[in-house]
Amino acid sequence: MHEMSLAENVLQMIEEAALTQDFSRVHTVWLEIGQLACVETQSLRFYFDVVAQDSIARNAKLEIIDKPGQGWCNVCRRPTRISSRHDACEKCGNYGLQIMDGDSMRITELEVE
């Protein structure tokens, strides 16, 4: 049910944007999802359709952009690319990286009218 509440969050973000940017209909939503966010995109799409049914985003298309994860290695003192939270540094193999990016979800663009 994780995706259900994420879908509700997305709709909430859209409705907040509608208030400040003054639009009444959303056609496309570009959603950036970090690889570390553990989001099942198939079910997110499904639940989004469900929660958006009676909203300004009904029938809106969901464009999902994958964002790679990034961790910080304390040994190398540099960022490293990771695809899961348990990955090691790609340079030195150190575990216990600090997650810097790719663990969240955000709307990057909305096509509206």
Of 19-27, 38-46, 60-68, 70-78, the segment contacting Zn ion by CB under 5 A is 70-78
Nearer to Zn ion, 38 or 75 (CB): 75
Instruction: Tell me the number of residues near Zn ion by CB under 5 A.
Output: 7
- Write down the least CB distance from residue 82 to Zn ion, Å: 11
Question: In terms of DSSP H, where are the helices of the chain?
Answer: 2-21, 41-52
Minimum distance between the CB of residue 38 and Zn ion, rounded to whole angstroms?
24
Sign of CA dihedral 57, 62, 63, 64: positive
- Output the smallest distance, CB 94 to Zn ion, in A: 4
The 8-class DSSP code of residue 7 comes to: H
Interface positions, 73-102, toward Zn ion (CB under 5 A)? 73, 75-76, 89, 91-92, 94
55, 11 Cβ separation under 8 angstroms: yes
The minimum distance between CB 109 and Zn ion, in angstroms, equals 34
| 23 vs 36: CA distance, rounded Å | 32
Two tokens, residue 25: 């209909």
Which residues, numbered 16-55, are part of the site for Zn ion (CB under 5 A)? none
Q: For residues 6 and 37, what is the distance between their CA atoms, to the nearest angstrom? A: 11
Binding site for Zn ion (CB under 5 A): 73, 75-76, 89, 91-92, 94
